Amino acid sequence: MSPAKTTTVNTAHSVVEPSARSKRIAGTLVIVYALVTMLPLAWIFLTSIKSPPDSISYPPKILFTPSIEGYCNLFTTRTRQTPEYIASLPAPDGVCDAVTRQRNMVIAGPSNFLPRFTNSLIIAFGSTFLAVGLGTLAAYGFSRFKVPMADDLLFFILSTRMMPPIAVAIPIYLMYRQLGLSDTALGMMLLYTAVNVSLAVWLLKGFIDEIPREYEEAAMIDGYSRLQAFRKVVLPQATTGIAATAIFCLIFAWNEYAFASLLTSGSAQTAPPFIPTIIGEGGQDWPAVAAGTTIFLVPILVFTILLRKQLLRGITFGAVRK
């Protein structure tokens, strides 16, 4: 045995690894922040399962009997009837029917929520698809070719986002009326595409710049055309960036309120301007509004969860590898 048995046990953590204490503090901060930001969402969800009287009681009720009335009211229109008439009806058909009758009302038909929600889906996903598609092509062009005045063009593209939407709302309103695009899904899709394309070009150019051009060059030497090389080599490597960009575009188009309330009123109206107008008897039907909002959150939630990995890398603009 060697007398110098001084094996140094390396307990020091690495320099770049944060200490346990700072990790705990960071974790606590994140949780507190998450709770604060999630409180309104939780409140909306709770309101959606309250009965209308509970939803406006003061002080607000924390404990209450959950009710499905908000969701029933969201999807239906109802008319008031005399108790005698209701008593003469056959047994209620489904939960909503029963709940409605307790309020001395009967279901008259479906509400406009479903068509409005469908409009939102079509317009938001359609415009996201267009913006990301056009943005990818433009970003690739800016990234790989010598575009005359590329910097000026890129600045111009970005500058379209510098104005508040309200500043251009009136001209667009007039233009759309002339073109017959007011209150059409196509009009809204084009408008959101136009707004999002600038964001898409800028984000995607960053991602595509990071893909070494040697990959395409290798493909082109190996007998592929530029377009084929783009499809086989660039697109697969840009998926992260494309997914992240798509989420940003989708969130904008999904939540957009100002243009939607100005340019749509009937058949092309989207959910955001529709939801706050849900009126019950004697004022706003808060549980129904909350139910609409809750359902409105679901698509973004699903999309984000599906693409969360790409989103994380996308938000950090490629800084987090793997």
- Asked if 217 interacts with other proteins (CB under 8 A), we say yes
The β-bridge relationship of strands 76-80 and 105-110 is antiparallel
Among 185, 199, 203, 233, binds other proteins (CB under 8 A): 233
Give the nearer residue to other proteins in terms of CB position, either 17 or 214: 214
- Asked if 150 interacts with other proteins (CB under 8 A), we say no
Task: Please name which of 186, 193, 191, 298 lies closest in space to residue 245, comparing C-alpha atoms.
Answer: 193
Q: Which stretch binds other proteins (CB under 8 A): 10-18, 34-42, 117-125, 223-231?
A: 223-231
Distance of closest approach, residue 22 Cβ to other proteins, in angstroms: 32
Which tokens in the block code for residue 299?
A: 């698509």
Which tokens in the block code for residue 51?
A: 């009965």
- Asked if 220 interacts with other proteins (CB under 8 A), we say yes
Distance of closest approach, residue 213 Cβ to other proteins, in angstroms: 9
Give the nearer residue to other proteins in terms of CB position, either 1 or 227: 227
Among 214, 266, 283, 319, binds other proteins (CB under 8 A): 214
Distance of closest approach, residue 221 Cβ to other proteins, in angstroms: 5
Give the nearer residue to other proteins in terms of CB position, either 45 or 224: 224
Give the nearer residue to other proteins in terms of CB position, either 129 or 215: 215
Distance of closest approach, residue 72 Cβ to other proteins, in angstroms: 49
Give residue 96's Cα distance to chain centre.
Answer: 29
Cis omega (within 30 of 0) for bond into 90: no
- Asked if 219 interacts with other proteins (CB under 8 A), we say yes
Residue matched to tokens 């009720």: 61
- Exposed, middle or buried, 203 (CB in 10 Å: 0-12/13-18/19+)? buried
Task: Please name which of 294, 292, 251 lies closest in space to residue 274, comparing C-alpha atoms.
Answer: 292
Phi, psi of 44 (to 5 degrees): -60, -45
CA pair distance 210, 318, nearest whole angstrom: 9
- Residue 306: half-sphere exposure toward Cβ, Cα within 13 Å: 9
- Asked if 236 interacts with other proteins (CB under 8 A), we say yes
Give the nearer residue to other proteins in terms of CB position, either 233 or 253: 233
Residue partners of 201: CB distance under 8 A and separation at least 6: 135, 138, 139, 142, 154, 157
Count of residues that interact with other proteins, criterion CB under 8 A: 17
Give the nearer residue to other proteins in terms of CB position, either 4 or 221: 221
Q: Which stretch binds other proteins (CB under 8 A): 25-33, 52-60, 63-71, 208-216?
A: 208-216
Q: Are 104 and 86 within 8 A, CB to CB? A: yes
Among 83, 148, 223, 266, binds other proteins (CB under 8 A): 223
Binding site for other proteins (CB under 8 A): 212, 214-215, 217-225, 228, 232-233, 236-237
